[in-house]
Amino acid sequence: MRHAEVERRAPRIGATWLAWIAIVASALSAHAEPGVPGAGVPESWEAGLRASYQRLSGTIVTSQVSVGTFLGYYVHPNVEPFLGVSLDFQDADAGRGSSATAVNVSAGAGARASFELAERLRPYLAFSPGLLLRTTDISGFDAEDQLDFVLSAQVGLQVELVPRVALDVGVAYDRIFSDGGEDLLTVPLGVSFFF
């Protein structure tokens, strides 16, 4: 019964957050100054927050929650080098009491190319190499640490809510160069601030 109630409430909670974002964006735009820094403005800084959730079902059920942040600088209206850090929480269940949890920390440097599609819409393509440190705790065994090389690519769209603030949605692909290699596809959602 409680599970059904949670499912019915989820859309309402999402709609409530979107409504609050719209209200705050409207209030900020009423006091916004023309010509302030933003996406595509040379010599502007961008700080962003990203989050994603993924659940894979199969022989092993795996859930992953990722949060990250980055700092970029527009050297050109269409080019933005950036530094980024992300934190991943993974939980895997193979059944029969066998489970594993992992905390991954990744850091990388890359660049993003973007262009103005419309007045408030800006598609982009980002690419960044980096390092991934994983700490895995398998039930019945000691925790294991592993350092891997990772390549990340992302295509997405920035939607300007008000000057200095943009909503960001995209699709990210990570190639992890571990034993056997791993591929990860996520749909991150985020917000960016320009200054």
Q: How high is the mean pLDDT of the chain?
A: 79
> Which pLDDT does position 21 carry in this prediction?
52
Is pLDDT above 70 for 187?
A: yes
Would you say the C-alpha torsion 155, 109, 81, 193 has a positive or negative sign? positive
- Phi, psi (rounded to 5 degrees) for 60: -120, 125
> Which pLDDT does position 6 carry in this prediction?
35
Task: Identify the residue with better confidence: 122 or 40.
Answer: 122
- Identify any residues that bridge with 115 across adjacent strands, giving them in sequence order: none
In this prediction, residues 153-172 reach a mean pLDDT of 94
> Rounded to whole angstroms, what are the CA distances from 109 to 79, 83, 122?
14, 4, 21
62-121 pLDDT, tens digit per residue, is: 788 899 999 999 999 999 999 999 998 888 775 666 667 878 899 999 999 999 998 899
Beta strands in the chain (DSSP E): 45-56, 61-73, 79-95, 98-114, 121-138, 144-162, 165-177, 182-186, 189-194
Give this prediction's pTM.
Answer: 0.73
Is pLDDT above 70 for 14?
A: no
Is pLDDT above 50 for 18?
A: yes
> Which pLDDT does position 53 carry in this prediction?
87
- Tokens representing 9? 């409430």
Residue 20, classed as helix, strand or coil, is: helix
| Residues 37-64 as b or e (16 or more Cβ within 10 Å = b) | bbbbeeebebebebebeeeeeeeeebeb
Is pLDDT above 80 for 174?
A: yes
Of 152, 148, 149, the C-alpha closest to 170 is: 152
Domain boundaries, the chain: 32-194
Percentage with pLDDT > 90 across the chain: 47
Is pLDDT above 50 for 5?
A: no
Q: Does domain 32-194 have CATH number 2.40.160.20?
A: yes
Q: How far apart are CA 68 and CA 72, in angstroms?
A: 13
> Which pLDDT does position 100 carry in this prediction?
73
Q: How far apart are CA 187 and CA 55, in angstroms?
A: 12
Percentage with pLDDT > 70 across the chain: 71
In this prediction, residue 38 has a pLDDT band, given cuts at 50, 70 and 90, of confident
Specify the DSSP element, H or E, that contains 42: none
